[in-house]
Chain A
Amino acid sequence: MLTIATGNKAVAAAVKAAKPGVVAAYPITPQTEIVEQIAEYVTDGDLESQYIPVESEHSAMAACIGASAGGVRTFTATSSHGLLYMHEMVHWAAGARLPIVMANVNRALGPGWNTWAEHSDAFSQRDTGWLQVFVGTVQEAYDATLMAFKIAEDERVLLPVMVNLDGFALSHIMQALETVDLGDFLPPYHLPHAIDTENPCVYGPMTGPADYFRFRWDIERSMRDARGVIAEVEREFAERFGRSYGPTEDYRCEDADVVVIAMGTLGKEAEVAVDRLRDEGIKAGSMRLRWFRPFPDLDLAGREVVVIDRDYSFGFGGVVAHSIRSKTGVVPYSVIAGLGGQEVTYNDIADFVRNRHPGTETWFGVSDHV
């Protein structure tokens, strides 16, 4: 069905289609609309699911962990401080190999108190063992949420997936949305190590160094395998529903001398900047980074690169810029922009390209080429 919807409503619609047995969540701006809508689906009988209105995000993730291990598909959603509050359980979900899907509506971290878009909340969970995908349109929020369940629950992965969408900039805007009839795209939930009351065993016991170390390697091995699983699922999704996705969305990159790398809505807006730059004779392209964990292999050889980070690792640099640098060897021009919802237009992005100084960092509107 074709309609228009907000990014939040698109996520909720995907969750309805995926039919999780348990949804446990706590509302927080700008995510609230997702869990409100899901609660409404459950109340109206459109989604047969146990909706658990918990007293905190820590409990939300704990409830998802219990339900997921108990053998049902689970979903939760949060933002910003809510995600930080559940941090301990975020690690646990991955370590326990539970394919929980969580939408994270990217929002800045206080103080100062700020409810607008930033990616620092997601990156604060970077090393937890969750897969992380960042979306750039309302349609993609829907599609990526559907695919997240299939990827997470694949036995070669069995790791939780975080679907990230920009707070307000995507969560609250309305765009076209085509919902699909899932058919058998999503197989029934099957967790090989689900709790079995006929065969009681211990979960989460003390684990010695040797076994613990193997468990950690197993997470990484699955992360590496996840690249192939993601590609398979995205290919199948394209064949069934006609919309294709990859680790990056490349726009006019084939012959580009300079490539802009950004995530989320800034990555879409960068395509408009590329068109403007091309009109001026600058051979620019845009590469919107979708998957952040597992981090994709990128081919940037022979190109200049401008990376826009909507995040920062204090005392180090832009998280994406340094990831690109360490993974590809390319020394990018690093632009820090859009923190706390700072307005960044396609004209600004075109300026970043025109004024690029590879090897330096600029805080947009504050400090140049430092």
Chain B
Amino acid sequence: MYEIRIHSRGGQGGVTAAKLLALAAFRDGKYATACPFYGAERRGAPVVSFVRIDDEPIKIYSQIHEPDLVIVLDTSIMDVVDVLQGLKSGGTVLLNSAHPLLGCNGTCRHVDLTGIALAENLVVAGSPILNTPVLGALAKMGVVTFPSAEKAIREMFADERNVKAAKAAYEELKA
């Protein structure tokens, strides 16, 4: 089982990112669950969502305490949340950042999702949309295939700019 924890702020689309990722994995023929953790959060507060991907049906409903992959959609959270907590040894971190910001005991990747969203003018209520471009980066990392990522995005969103943004993130992902 591959376990993913997504850190974001309320309103940034972390929950939708989890759903998109689960849907893409499902389109790859895997079992997947997306479990957003709903707290008493408001717009702007740090939030987490979880995704599990496996070849077998998934029976676990509790939170992910030892993720294989941590995704940080808003790096300003790292001032208040230990995003590396419980990360498996050899695990991976993906940051929404133009620069490497973090050392970890596994692999750290980064891509400027905010810049990509702004370049595509993917902005809703003043916030750049991060949940569709991040899927492109995850496809590059092999978490899902790109065709399934594309399919998942098109199933949930009609605007083709979402697919273009995912392609851009696929190209721009840094080691």
Contacts and interface: CB of A to CB of B under 8 A. Distances in A.
B65 A176 contact: no
A346 B62 CA distance: 8
Given A173-B33, A174-B34, A268 B23 contact: no
Contacts of A169: 35, 61
A81 interface: no
> Which residue, of B32, B60, B65, has the highest number of chain A Cβ atoms within 10 A?
B60
Interface string B110-126: 00000000000000000
Interface residues of B, number: 19
Interface in A156-209: 166, 168-170, 172-176
A4 interface: yes
Given A4-B32, A168-B38, A175 B62 contact: no
A172 B60 contact: no
Nearest to B63: A343
Contacts of B60: 269, 272, 345-346
Interface string B44-58: 000000000000001
Contact of B34 (A30, A173, A269, A271): A173
Given A172-B38, A175-B33, A271 B59 contact: yes
Contacts of A346: 60, 62
Contacts of B36: 172-173
B59 A345 contact: no
A31 to B, nearest CB: 13
Given A174-B19, A176-B26, A115 B34 contact: no
Nearest to B34: A174
Nearest to A166: B61
A174 B59 CA distance: 12
Interface of B is mostly: mixed
Contacts of B18: 174
A32 interface: no
A253 to B, nearest CB: 16
A344 interface: yes
Given A176-B26, A176-B31, A115 B38 contact: yes
Contacts of A343: 62-63
A59 interface: no
Contacts of A345: 60, 62-63, 65
A274 to B, nearest CB: 10
Contacts of A4: 22-23, 26, 32, 34
A170 B63 contact: no
Interface in B47-91: 58-63, 65
Nearest to B50: A173
Interface in A234-277: 265-266, 268-269, 271-272
> Which residue, of A115, A173, A266, A345, has the highest number of chain B Cβ atoms within 10 A?
A173
B52 to A, nearest CB: 10
A169 B19 CA distance: 15
A176 B27 CA distance: 10
Contacts of B62: 269, 343-346
B35 A268 contact: no
Contacts of B58: 175
Contacts of B63: 343, 345
B13 to A, nearest CB: 15
Interface string B1-34: 0000000000000000011001100100001111
B38 A173 contact: no
A265 B32 contact: no
A30 B39 CA distance: 12
Given A4-B22, A4-B23, A176-B26, A170 B61 contact: yes
Contacts of B26: 4, 176
Nearest to B20: A174
> Which residue, of A4, A166, A268, has the highest number of chain B Cβ atoms within 10 A?
A4
A170 B61 CA distance: 8
Contacts of B65: 345
B20 to A, nearest CB: 10
A4 B152 CA distance: 11
B33 A174 contact: yes
Contacts of B23: 4, 174
17 contacts: A4-B22, A4-B23, A116-B38, A172-B38, A174-B18, A174-B33, A175-B32, A175-B33, A265-B61, A266-B61, A269-B60, A269-B62, A271-B59, A272-B59, A343-B63, A344-B62, A345-B62
Given A4-B23, A272-B59, 16 more contacts: A4-B26, A4-B34, A166-B61, A172-B35, A173-B36, A174-B18, A174-B19, A174-B22, A174-B34, A175-B33, A269-B59, A271-B59, A272-B60, A345-B60, A345-B63, A345-B65
